[in-house]
Chain A
Amino acid sequence: MEALQGIAAASPSKPRSRRTGPADLFRTLAIGAVMILVGLLAPKAVPSSYYLGLLVNAAVLGISAVSIGFLAHQSGLMMFGAAAFTGGATYLYAIAITQFGWNVMAASAFTLLASTLLSAAIGALIVRARPLPFAMLTLALAQMLRSFVLITDFRPITGGDDGLPLSFEGAFFGFSQAQLSRPEGFWPVAWLSLCGVMALAWAVGKSPTGQALRAIKANEERMRFSGFDTYGPRVLAFTLASFMASLAGLLTGLYTAFASPELLDFSTGGNALVSTLIGGVGTVGGPALGALLYVIGQDRFGATGNLEFLTGLGVVLVIYVFPDGIMGFIRAGAAKLSGREASGRSEGENASR
């Protein structure tokens, strides 16, 4: 529960008020610091290792969801194939460990650097596409990677459909593999990464680049006529989003110590996409909240044996009932309670055309 409240508190509560004075900034930093601390103490409050494991999954899924939400909100582009970047990063990490025999720190640094560079190159090609072709392109990228790792010729490197089990030597920021494989040991890593990603997404959103990005989303032609570079910022946004997604992929590799082709499935990218939409793309906290709800839902639905059916039903109902995601609903409710008009609505809409 702490995590949930922390996430809700961390999102910029009034996006319309642009007065970011020092007092405002200080308050945000203070809320952020409290949230990080509360989150770090979560293992004390969570009764069992099983539920902490769910929280870890939610945090990792939350990172991918924040990355999708960031790109959707800032650029109006939906990554249908986020799995390409998360799963791709897991595979890069796995290959660095098993093939190159690097230690965990070198492999992690390599994963983030290589996937960021690769996605910058991919972004340079595909951000020009309109939203729907863009979504298809990323989806195709994920599918292509998936068929790539399953190719029999590459089996020695990628492990084919058996996947790649990986065990690393040395320590990741002082954590050994045995420690990282337990939810208690991994939680600080996952939580701090999620906070870092949310802070990054929030800061970029507040920055002049973020403002330019949303203006480009609203009317690209007009921005170009006004003398703004409309291409560079979008490539930057895409690269940042894929960096976040590849961080999630790296964490998956560190936590599960296994790279499997399922990581590249449409459904894996779908998990993050659905989380993002459940939470709502208007805020940084929305997707993270969506991921938490999604993981809890999957756990509950899985117990009934009708996982897919209930997930599908949940997706349909949430989209029908909460047009701006749960977070949009919460914010609209909060605004109504405090006597203001729901200012989050216009901000939260994700017009994709």
Chain B
Amino acid sequence: MEFLHLFSAAQFANSLALASLLTILASGLALIFGLRDVMNFAHGALFMLGAYVGYTVSTLLDFWAALAIVPVLLGLLGAALEYATIRPLRKRSQMDVALVTFGLALMLSQAVIKIWGAAPLAVGAPPSLAGSTDLFGEPYPTYRLFLIATGFGVCIVLALWLRYTRTGLHVRAVSQYPAVARILGVDTDRLGLLVVCMGTGLAGLAGVLAGPYLSVDPALGASILINCLIVVVVGGLGSIGGAIAAAVVFGLIEVFGSLLSPTLAVTAPYLLLFFVLLWRPQGFGRGRVG
């Protein structure tokens, strides 16, 4: 009975809250990888930057303003990343570019500490979402429900965009067969710029959303980056649908694992990665093998 009791609606919602954050981040990472062949190690740092900028904007204006402004700012940063890093280093190996983004992540995280300090900052949920909602007879923080809805909403919009628009079709084409797509006249540079901006913008959005859910501190980026990489690789490199599925599995494992056995929980994500990569190297989705 004790065992069954653990699987409450609240715990399920908790795993979805974690998963929704991861899906936003992982789909950005997967998009950038699919289009640009770049494993963006700065993604965690961009997420953290988004959380900090979100903190400042929410204290100056309000949370909703932050939710609108920060993704745009981070998207502009993405354009800088595209022009300053990805394009000049196009001819270089994946590892070189990955290492450059790793270096940028180091710079970014120290810059954040210089500006906002190393102490964790608390961001309050907006007043309309601060309370709790009745979830199958249990009170549950409203903000987390909002987080789940927004996270998966964004991912569904993204998936629809990829599935049903012409640009989305081009993005999928370039992710699968870059050379063929170029021959058929798809402008990969324009598309790459768009997708990198979207990816970093999504990292910013995830940062703002994470503010009231997690506390904002400089270690935020590094810890979520590894999880995000696992989700992207497990989901299939460059595949959005796979990344969403992997994030949900990851969230479930993380939350229920820590209830069943903390020992299991810390190793479970890595075991998941090992099994998926050894058994099905292309991951859940239909992405390319890296």
Contacts and interface: CB of A to CB of B under 8 A. Distances in A.
In the complex, which of the residues B105, B109, B229 has the most CB atoms of chain A within 10 Å of its own CB atom?
B229
Contacts of B106: 308-309, 311-312, 315
A148 B265 CA distance: 10
A136 B229 contact: yes
Contacts of B110: 306-309, 312
Q: Which of B88, B102, B104 is the most central at the interface, judged by chain A CB atoms within 10 Å of its CB?
A: B102
State the majority secondary structure of interface residues on B. Answer: helix
Interface string A120-148: 00000110111111011101110110011
B273 interface: yes
Interface in A249-288: 266, 270, 273-274, 277
A132 B278 contact: no
A128 B281 CA distance: 10
B266 to A, nearest CB: 4
Interface in B253-290: 262-263, 266-267, 269-271, 273-274, 277-278, 281, 289-290
A353 interface: yes
Contacts of A140: 226, 230, 269-270, 273-274
Contact of A133 (B95, B105, B262, B277): B277
Interface stretch (A19-27, A35-43, A100-108, A316-324): A316-324
Contacts of B237: 132-133
B94 A316 contact: no
A82 interface: no
Given A143-B226, A151-B262, A270 B102 contact: yes
B99 A130 contact: no
B96 to A, nearest CB: 5
A133 B100 contact: no
A291 to B, nearest CB: 16
A176 interface: no
B135 interface: no
A330 B207 CA distance: 43
A148 B267 contact: yes
Contacts of B80: none
Interface size class of B (residues with CB under 8 A): 35 or more
Contact of A132 (B108, B266, B290): B290
B222 A266 contact: yes
A352 to B, nearest CB: 5
A148 B95 CA distance: 28
B126 interface: no
Contact of B93 (A144, A153, A350): A350
A323 B96 contact: yes
Interface string A151-166: 1110000000000000
B277 A144 contact: no
B39 interface: yes
Nearest to B289: A130
A8 interface: no
A125 to B, nearest CB: 6
Interface in B221-261: 222, 226, 229-230, 233, 237
19 contacts: A132-B39, A132-B290, A133-B281, A135-B95, A140-B230, A140-B269, A144-B271, A147-B266, A266-B226, A277-B95, A308-B107, A309-B106, A309-B114, A311-B106, A316-B104, A316-B107, A319-B96, A320-B100, A350-B96
Interface of B: 39, 88-89, 92-96, 99-100, 102-111, 114, 222, 226, 229-230, 233, 237, 262-263, 266-267, 269-271, 273-274, 277-278, 281, 289-290
Interface of A: 72, 78, 125-126, 128-133, 135-137, 139-141, 143-144, 147-148, 150-153, 266, 270, 273-274, 277, 306-309, 311-316, 319-320, 323, 349-353
Given A152-B262, A277-B99, 7 more contacts: A130-B281, A135-B95, A144-B270, A307-B110, A311-B103, A319-B89, A320-B88
Q: Which 8 A-B pairs have the closest CB atoms?
A: A312-B106, A132-B290, A315-B103, A147-B266, A312-B107, A144-B270, A309-B110, A316-B103
